[in-house]
Amino acid sequence: MLRGGLGAAVFVRTVHTALTWAVTLVLFLHDTDLWSRDDGSKVLQPLCFLFFVLCSMALYFAVSLMDPGYVMSDCDEKVTQCLTPLLLSHFNPSADPSPVRSRRCGYCLFKQPMRARHCKSCQHCVRRYDHHCPWIENCVGEKNHPLFILYLCVQLMALLWALRLGWSGFHFAETWTEWLHVNVFLLLAFVLSCIFTVVVSLLLVCHLYLISCNVTTWEFMSHHRIAYLKHYESDANPFDKGIIRNIWSFFCTFGTVAWERIYFRESYATV
């Protein structure tokens, strides 16, 4: 299964790289606005566009190859095991900790921290698991989620620029056959850019909304099945600290977060 997963990852990343550079090459070879300037800064715009493409590629490989937050041992669970009964007894002595007791993963056999989930594709439990992204062939979790958002932003800017350049390169012809003959490769590049622009835009908007609520994609989709959430109403979230603090914590928190502290504080602060 590991070999199959590695082969799929190599294939997906190769396709992504090939499509990216194919679209870029078409835009450079056609008479687009990349070469519209006649002064000394003629090469400035092509270099800037190439820089955006290189940045998006670098971020893509960084997100797809980095550790998303794998749970590798039970060592960090000792804190959680001690923390749970102490917090429960402090906030609510009669509370039953069983609904949110940490569980041992049936696949990798490690105890899962709160908000972690096992990914069958990666064969690991991932901290603050959001989803497994087939386009990067990696999970999006606690360690690479902010970088994933940055990648989406840079990718979207590059795609929007590619759309404008592609549109500027179309040339009129007397017949549709002649027009298609002249613009066929540019048309394919433009259509691909349109498709990916729509997909990336939707992904970015959805993720920014969930980040502002401090909810992961997995929690949003499976709220009723998650032990630490199913006794809450569908619109309630024990990790929500307000939009500003949620966004700040997401982008400016480094290292591992003990979500149990936030969960129990929010759960029992009103008792």
Identify the CA nearest to 122 among candidates 108, 112, 103.
Answer: 108
**How does 159-187 read in b/e, with b if 16+ C-beta sit within 10 Å?**
bebbbebbeebbeeeeeeeeeeeebebbb
CB 260 within 8 A of CB 114: yes
- For residue 139, list its beta bridge partners: 132
Q: Which of 119, 122, 125, 133 is catalytic?
A: 133
In terms of average pLDDT, the best of 2-6, 17-21, 76-80 is 17-21
CB 26 within 8 A of CB 114: no
Q: H/E/C letters for each residue in 198-260?
A: HHHHHHHHHHHHHHHHCCCHHHHHCHHHCCCCCCCCCCCCCCCCCHHHHHHHHHHCCCCCCHH
Identify the CA nearest to 69 among candidates 109, 100, 112, 102.
Answer: 112
CB 137 within 8 A of CB 146: no
pLDDT at 79: 47
Euclidean distance between the first and final Cα of the chain, in Å?
A: 48
Lowest mean pLDDT among 11-25, 143-157, 177-191: 177-191
Average pLDDT over the chain, rounded to an integer: 83
Which two three-digit tokens encode residue 123?
Answer: 């064969």
Which two three-digit tokens encode residue 107?
Answer: 């696949």
Residue 205: band (very low, low, confident or very high) from pLDDT cuts 50, 70, 90: very high
pLDDT at 75: 54
| 26-40 tens-digit pLDDT | 999 888 888 766 655
Separation CA 92–CA 95 (nearest Å)? 5
pLDDT at 132: 95
Higher-pLDDT residue of 79, 270 = 79
Higher-pLDDT residue of 193, 110 = 193
Separation CA 181–CA 133 (nearest Å)? 37
| Known catalytic residue at 133 | yes
Q: Where are the domains of the chain?
A: 2-67+145-268
pLDDT at 2: 45
